[in-house]
Chains A and B, each alone.
Chain A
Amino acid sequence: MAPPTPDHKSYPKTTPPSILLVILDIHPLSWSLLASPPPLPSVPDQPIIDKAQATPISLPDFVLLLMVFLNAHLASRWGNEVVVYGASAGRAKLLYPPPSNAIAGPSKPRPNTYHPFQLLDTRIEEGLKEMAEEEQRRIENGHIKSLNQPPAMVSALTKALCFVNRIIPHTSASAALVDPTATQDPSAATTTGPDKPETRILVINATPGENVSNSSSSDLDQTNGNGNADGQVDGTAPNGKSGNGGQMRGGYVGLMNCVFAAQKAKVPIDVLSLPPPSIDASPPIFLQQAAHLTEGIYWQWNGRGGLLQYLHALYLPPLSLRHHPFAVPPQDAVGFRAVCFCHHKTLDVGFVCSVCLSIFCEPRPVCLMCKTRFPIKSIPTLKSLATYIEPIPVPDTVPPPPIPKGSKAHNNNNENNKKDKNRSMINGGSGRGEPIEID
């Protein structure tokens, strides 16, 4: 991708202002896991990596790091903006900027802090405390089960995308959503001016992926009602859907809709997944898919500290510099599996309704979504045909980085490689990413 003769004179002289939307997973259960991580397996052939100990990280610690990162984003250009959403169990909330009607009189500026930094930091702190108090109240009011809901990623993503749409109402991207021919209009050239802000979304995930949750909640899956595919988006109904702390169970459709909306609006979704492999052997595949589909950066923390540096190194460069001239970390192989609408299972082979395109784990005579009837005779044929289908293997290899030694990306890549190999060995070297989970 890099030009054969790199010419530093071709580097951009200015970049457009960029807006960073951060979605922070503050699910209390996930953070309690992160605060006391299990010991990491040693890596004898990588002494440098092996030396770094497993680092427990608590939410206050991480928020401090995040604030420094957000300050660095604000510092890197005039006109850069930050928007922060908190996603707790079952609900998401805008933490920063404060709604315009409720701007409290700013406290006295501190003599050693740049004023915008101070505003951002105090407001995030207040917002997080408010959310924590709300959670506390919910638990005191007896909604203890609400803690079992997954973090409201979908809700937060939807809000973030709406925010993007609101700040840039007349971009070609959103115009394309309404009217694909709008880009041919000569006035559309005005939207490509250098001052059109770039937006990107950074999802900071703290909740472990499916494996952990499946082992703990597989019994509850039986009680899950059918057909309420995206009813869980806001997670307001407590029973029936709670209990599966798994990541994106009910919100799968909602998440995918968000991803495609973001893809269309050309807003990349970067994902930083905090649970290290020792907590969570499998990556949160739907967030990984989200990053892949929107050309964002997906990266899983290895649990060995250095988060501040990783944040700066991976997620700070603006979009206009991201692929050229800067390098992005090599992306792990992505599993493109989907979730069925009936049992919320992750599938390798699924059956799709030819009318409404809903996905099911087994052939059905009547589509649960659109009630279309299918000939009952076709079901045995479909079942037998399905046995012939080889699951598409998740590739185990990651393309080698261009630079052989000394780069951080390289180490990172080695780890990923190793992780992938381990995984395929656990699976008996069948070449598949993971075995299908059957309840």
Chain B
Amino acid sequence: MVQPSFSHPRSDPSSSSVSNSPTAALDAFLDNQHQSYFEELYKSEAVCLCILRSLPPVCRHLILHHLWSHMPLRTTEVKSFLQLDVHTQLEVVDEIVRPALNRKIIHPMIHKKNKFYWPWNDAFKKGLRNALTGLGASNSFGVPFDTPDDVELPSQEDLVAYGEEAFEGILKYMVSSGLGIGFSVARPQAEVLELLHISGLMIDPTDATGENPNLNKMTITSKGFQFLLEDRQTQLWEILMYYLTAKEANSERSAEVLSMFFSLGCMQLGQDYSASKSFPHALSALNDLAQYGFIYRPSPDSDQFFPTHLATALCSGDAAATKSQEADEKRFLILETNYKIYAYTSNELEIAILNLFVDIRIRYPNLVVGKLDRKNVKSAMEKGISANQIISYLSSHAHPQMYNSPPPLLHPTIVDQLHLWDRERNRLKMEDTVMLEFFSKELFEDTENEAKANAALQLSVSTQKFLFIEPQTKAAITDFVKERQNQLRSGF
């Protein structure tokens, strides 16, 4: 139950990403796509580069190791490079390259002339080779805008400030809707609100069906609270994926939009790009992204746009996030073993988020003092925030001063107490189930055995002949029951 120790401020984004990668939303989305979708994506070199980087290191280096060979990737070669025994089962090797198979970088294994190999996806191979040599022709890294020399460009700081303001505006709106505290928040545009509704981060409590929400009267959901506690990169990818699935629901092609996300992620902060030349097929999506602060446009209808740090950090992993100065500004929390919290911040959003689970006692211009107590933490948990989320929020915002004490970063007492409060609430575990009721004892027992064999059984009550099974196995089990029933009947 004790959290793993965080040894250094710089190290914790990556150590927390072991359990929960910031691109989890993206991965889940890509896992459900088909071959043709990837063929479409891999036309862009930027996508190939970013997909390569998202693979686990061993798989990534296998791909790079073999990139310039004209042969297909043979299993014997993989085995020897990985120092595996020649007789290692093919399934084991297949499992190692599984991430690449999932991204359709290589095709499933083929057996020919006594040789087992994975053929390359030529689109990816070509794309990655072009990305490394710079010989591509898809303009996927962004066509720079022809700026006249006398025009003054916004500085990098301006862009960061702009992006920060736009995105935090949305987050603030979400928090304020839940707490009823009013800081003067501009309401985001209707498209943004609509997306927040579709994604389930906010709902209109007066609208029971969920079909005709009053966008101006929405409040935050428990999912929304969880979203607030995520780190920035996770939030960005989640929003983008909600946007993408919303597009798909409208049966629009999303591959071009997704490839635009990757292109934006490979762009340079402070450089201006031409929208019509860079993304001729995704202009409307680019306009939508402006509302979230991903890009900055000097005037709404100009062709020129600047990616902000939100966009350029999309594909930069943890590196850019930890390097940038705002990462240090995010480390403002000191937590003492007596549950007292000192937060050196004047950011309204952060204070509002803290207010979710901390009893705030004192406020100074740059310091907030509060206490973690049972009442507030449990009210936060009522809203759907879990103990783990609070812990990861606390540790990712811990002040550099806290790293000076020996690890673990958060004192075990507090971590344990948070888990205990969580347990108090979670005495019951909810699971979906399907209940079957039987009249024949024989049929009941047969079905019970069958369900046990397939790990579908949740609970059986033999006195009343009730059987509770996993919902996804319902079809299979009912088929079995019908078949068995027929057999039993014909037996008589």
Which residues of chain A have a CB within 8 Å of any CB of chain B? 1-2, 6, 8, 11-15, 17, 68, 71-72, 75-79, 108-115, 117-118, 121, 186, 189-190, 192-195, 308-309, 312-313, 316-318, 320-321, 324-327, 401-410
Contacts and interface: CB of A to CB of B under 8 A. Distances in A.
A71 B144 CA distance: 21
A15 B14 CA distance: 10
A181 to B, nearest CB: 18
Nearest to A324: B83
A111 B10 contact: no
Contacts of A118: 134
Contact of B46 (A108, A114, A186, A192): A114
A193 B7 contact: yes
Nearest to A322: B61
B132 A72 contact: yes
Contacts of B407: 189
Interface string B75-118: 01101111111101000100110000000000000000000000
Interface in B22-66: 45-46, 49, 52-53, 56-58, 60-61, 64-65
A407 B66 CA distance: 12
Interface stretch (B135-143, B245-253, B458-466): B135-143
Contacts of B49: 75, 114
A385 to B, nearest CB: 46
Contacts of A326: 58, 61, 81-83
A72 B133 CA distance: 9
B492 interface: no
Given A112-B137, A117-B132, A407-B77, 5 more contacts: A6-B84, A111-B143, A114-B46, A193-B8, A194-B15
A12 B15 CA distance: 12
Contact of A1 (B14, B18, B83): B83
B82 A79 contact: no
Interface in B122-179: 130-144
B53 A403 contact: no
A15 B57 contact: yes
B131 A75 contact: yes
23 contacts: A6-B85, A6-B88, A75-B131, A76-B64, A77-B317, A78-B53, A79-B317, A109-B141, A109-B268, A114-B134, A115-B271, A190-B8, A190-B403, A193-B11, A194-B15, A312-B64, A325-B58, A326-B58, A326-B61, A402-B80, A406-B76, A407-B77, A409-B80
A402 B10 CA distance: 39
B419 interface: no
Contact of A325 (B69, B82, B268, B403): B82
A321 B80 contact: no
Nearest to B97: A8
B131 A114 contact: yes
B76 A317 contact: no
Contacts of B380: none
A195 B8 contact: yes
> At the interface, is chain A mostly helix, strand, loop or mixed?
loop
A407 B81 contact: yes
Given A118-B134, A321-B58, A111 B144 contact: yes
B134 A401 contact: no
A121 B134 CA distance: 10
Interface stretch (B318-326, B361-369, B388-396, B428-436): B318-326
Contacts of B76: 403, 405-407
A68 B92 contact: no
Contacts of B86: 403-404
B74 interface: yes
Contacts of B278: 111
A309 B66 CA distance: 8
A3 to B, nearest CB: 9
A75 B52 contact: yes
Interface in B393-421: 403, 406-407
B480 to A, nearest CB: 34
Nearest to A309: B68
A270 to B, nearest CB: 15
A112 B45 contact: yes
Contacts of B277: 111
Contact of A11 (B15, B58, B80, B85): B58
B8 A327 contact: no
Contact of B141 (A8, A114, A121): A114
A161 B82 CA distance: 31
B134 A14 contact: no
Among A1, A401, A407, the one with the most B-chain Cβ atoms within 10 Å of its Cβ is: A407
B255 interface: no
Contacts of B318: 78-79, 195
B64 A8 contact: no
Given A75-B132, A194-B14, A406-B74, A112 B8 contact: no
B17 interface: yes
Q: Which 7 A-B pairs have the closest CB atoms?
A: A193-B11, A79-B319, A78-B317, A403-B80, A113-B134, A407-B80, A2-B83
Contact of B92 (A8, A111, A406, A407): A8
B266 interface: yes
Contacts of B74: 406
